[in-house]
């Protein structure tokens, strides 16, 4: 039976909401939780994602703390594996009798929850804490129409539809410079589409994280060279060039200075595939698609009915102004470890349990807004350092960082942990000083207010 009073009412059953619920239920034997989500299955944006999507980071440290995801090693879990994984996690949480899911329901505020299948059905739940896991919600193309007008005589589809395409098109125009655009290009190439039949609209070139360098052992091996690169850098642009020289970051076109950085993670082999596309359209964003022309910010290119236009333009991680993670009666899940939403949510849940009050909790957790442009990498590292300096003072949090499944350090041997410790002891503080010096030379970062209401 659904309780009318619980400790936590979690809005959103995506990666953040599930990681928080899992941590609370498994480590607080008295806690009660209700999770609300508009979708009919847990997993958040993975439910709506394109069928050929895979994790962009190792499955070793993605998901929830209690349950292994993937086959280990260098595995990147597929969409079906991720959806099945979150279904199993939901069943495990429900089996405790202290966690309840309301799927296909919408949270309307003030504890009111409305069933999407029956708008007259309204539930009222009183919670000690509202947990907002959708403040920074992932947006994907399949859940909204294209953000620009398209002539009705033409065909435009989200990249999900590529897996169901029934015909061979004369040309494919992939619109979007981010990871979804890259995945669409890679999928077409893997299906045998010739590179010269693909046009790729890239409004901004991006710096990319080299996935080959973020396996646990690889990260430990790169601590020293990364620190040395940052320490030697004369400014943030020089830092990128030095990190590129040691293979930490990459760009598709070596001759173009990237103006975009969103934590997109690709392998070296994938970058080589992307470089096969010669018709890269760098004329800004698409303004509209007419019957025979794609109109962009700085020009136009021809199109027509024999062309399949693939929309990959959704903003995967919208920037929202940071707000305190802990407030009276409320927890707003935000990233507190750069580009690690699930681990951040689990860590917030742990701090909720072990810290005595919200003021103390917030001192441990400065939100790290998603990066938008390359210089944000420097801005974002400052709260990361501030947070880490707080965590190392707490034995509860030190152990969490070393042994929790969502932490990369939990997947290395004791010897690896010792190597990482002594390497960070030697190089961590000088690197932090160098980053703070780079940040001090920059103007403060400002984030736009998107106008999206919080739950």
Asked if pLDDT for residue 29 goes beyond 70, the answer is yes
Q: Over the stretch 253-296, which tens digit does the pLDDT of each residue have?
A: 999 999 999 999 999 999 999 999 999 999 999 999 999 999 99
Q: What are the residues facing 28 on neighbouring strands? A: none
pLDDT of residue 128: 96
The predicted model gives 356-371 an average pLDDT of: 92
User: Is the pLDDT confidence value at 455 over 60?
Assistant: no
For residues 220 and 254, is the Cβ–Cβ distance under 8 A?
Answer: no
Q: What is the pLDDT of residue 304?
A: 97
* pLDDT value at residue 446: 56
Q: What pLDDT does residue 342 have?
A: 95
Backbone φ, ψ for residue 128 (5° rounding) = -65, -35
Q: Are 27 and 157 in contact (CB under 8 A)?
A: no
Q: Retrieve residue 362's tokens.
A: 């917030």
| CATH 3.50.50.60 placement within the chain | 5-138+317-398, 141-207+251-311
Integer Cα distance of 323 and 337 in angstroms: 15
Q: What is the pTM of this model?
A: 0.92
Assess contact for 433 and 305: CB atoms under 8 A. Answer: no
Quick one: pLDDT at residue 215? 85
b/e per residue 286-298 (b: at least 16 CB within 10 A): beebeeeebbbee
Q: What is the mean pLDDT of residues 147-160?
A: 95
pLDDT at 114: 96
Please check the confidence at residue 450 and state whether its pLDDT lies above 60: no
* Res. 187: pLDDT tops 90: yes
The mean pLDDT value for 410-420 works out to 90
Distance of alpha carbon 277 from alpha carbon 286, whole angstroms:
19
Mean pLDDT of the chain: 92
| Structure confidence at residue 454 (pLDDT) | 46
- CATH, domain 5-138+317-398, list 3.50.50.60, 3.30.379.10, 3.30.70.141, 3.90.470.10: 3.50.50.60
For 192-202, what is each residue's pLDDT tens digit?
999 999 999 99
CATH 3.40.50.10300 fits 141-207+251-311, yes or no: no
pLDDT of residue 316: 67
Is 16 a residue whose pLDDT tops 90?
Answer: yes
Least confident of 25-39, 225-239, 367-381: 367-381
């Amino acid at each position: 039976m659904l309780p009318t009073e619980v400790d936590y009412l979690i809005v959103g059953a995506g990666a953040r909401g599930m990681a928080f619920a899992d941590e609370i239920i498994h480590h607080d034997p008295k806690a009660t939780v209700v999770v609300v989500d508009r979708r009919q299955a847990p997993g958040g944006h993975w439910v709506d994602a394109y069928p050929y999507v895979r994790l962009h980071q190792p499955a070793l440290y993605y998901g929830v703390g209690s349950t292994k995801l993937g086959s280990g090693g260098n595995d990147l879990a597929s969409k079906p594996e991720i959806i099945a994984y979150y279904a199993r996690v939901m069943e495990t949480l429900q089996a405790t009798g202290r966690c309840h899911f309301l799927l296909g329901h919408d949270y309307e505020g003030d504890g009111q929850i409305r069933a999407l299948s029956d708008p007259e059905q309204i539930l009222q739940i009183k919670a000690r804490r509202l947990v907002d896991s959708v403040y920074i919600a992932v947006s994907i193309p399949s859940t909204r129409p294209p953000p620009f007008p398209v002539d009705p005589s033409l065909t435009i589809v989200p990249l999900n539809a590529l897996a169901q395409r029934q015909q061979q098109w004369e040309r494919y125009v992939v619109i979007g410079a981010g990871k979804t655009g890259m995945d669409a290009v890679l999928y077409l190439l893997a299906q045998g589409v010739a590179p010269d039949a693909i046009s790729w609209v890239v409004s901004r070139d991006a710096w990319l994280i080299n996935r080959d360098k973020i396996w646990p052992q690889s990260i430990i091996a790169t601590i020293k060279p990364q620190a040395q690169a940052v320490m030697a850098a004369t400014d943030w642009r020089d830092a990128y060039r030095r990190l590129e020289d040691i293979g930490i970051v990459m760009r598709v076109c070596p001759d173009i200075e990237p103006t975009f950085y969103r934590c997109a993670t690709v392998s070296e082999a994938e970058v080589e595939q992307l470089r096969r596309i010669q018709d890269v359209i760098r004329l800004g964003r698409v303004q509209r698609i007419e019957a025979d022309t794609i109109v962009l910010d700085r020009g136009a290119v021809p199109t027509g009915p024999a062309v399949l236009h693939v929309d990959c333009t959704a903003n995967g991680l919208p920037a929202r102004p940071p707000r305190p993670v802990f407030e009276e009666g409320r927890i707003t899940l935000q990233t507190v470890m750069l580009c690690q939403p699930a681990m951040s949510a689990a860590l917030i849940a742990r701090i909720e349990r072990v810290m005595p009050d919200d003021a103390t909790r917030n001192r441990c957790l400065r939100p790290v807004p998603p990066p938008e442009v390359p210089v944000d990498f420097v801005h974002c590292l400052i709260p990361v350092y501030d947070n880490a300096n707080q965590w190392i003072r707490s034995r509860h949090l030190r152990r969490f960082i070393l042994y929790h499944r969502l932490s990369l350090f939990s997947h290395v041997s004791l010897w690896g942990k010792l190597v990482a410790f002594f390497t960070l002891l030697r190089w961590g503080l000088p690197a932090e000083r160098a980053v703070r010096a780079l940040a001090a030379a920059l103007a403060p970062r400002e984030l736009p207010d998107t106008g999206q209401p919080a739950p």
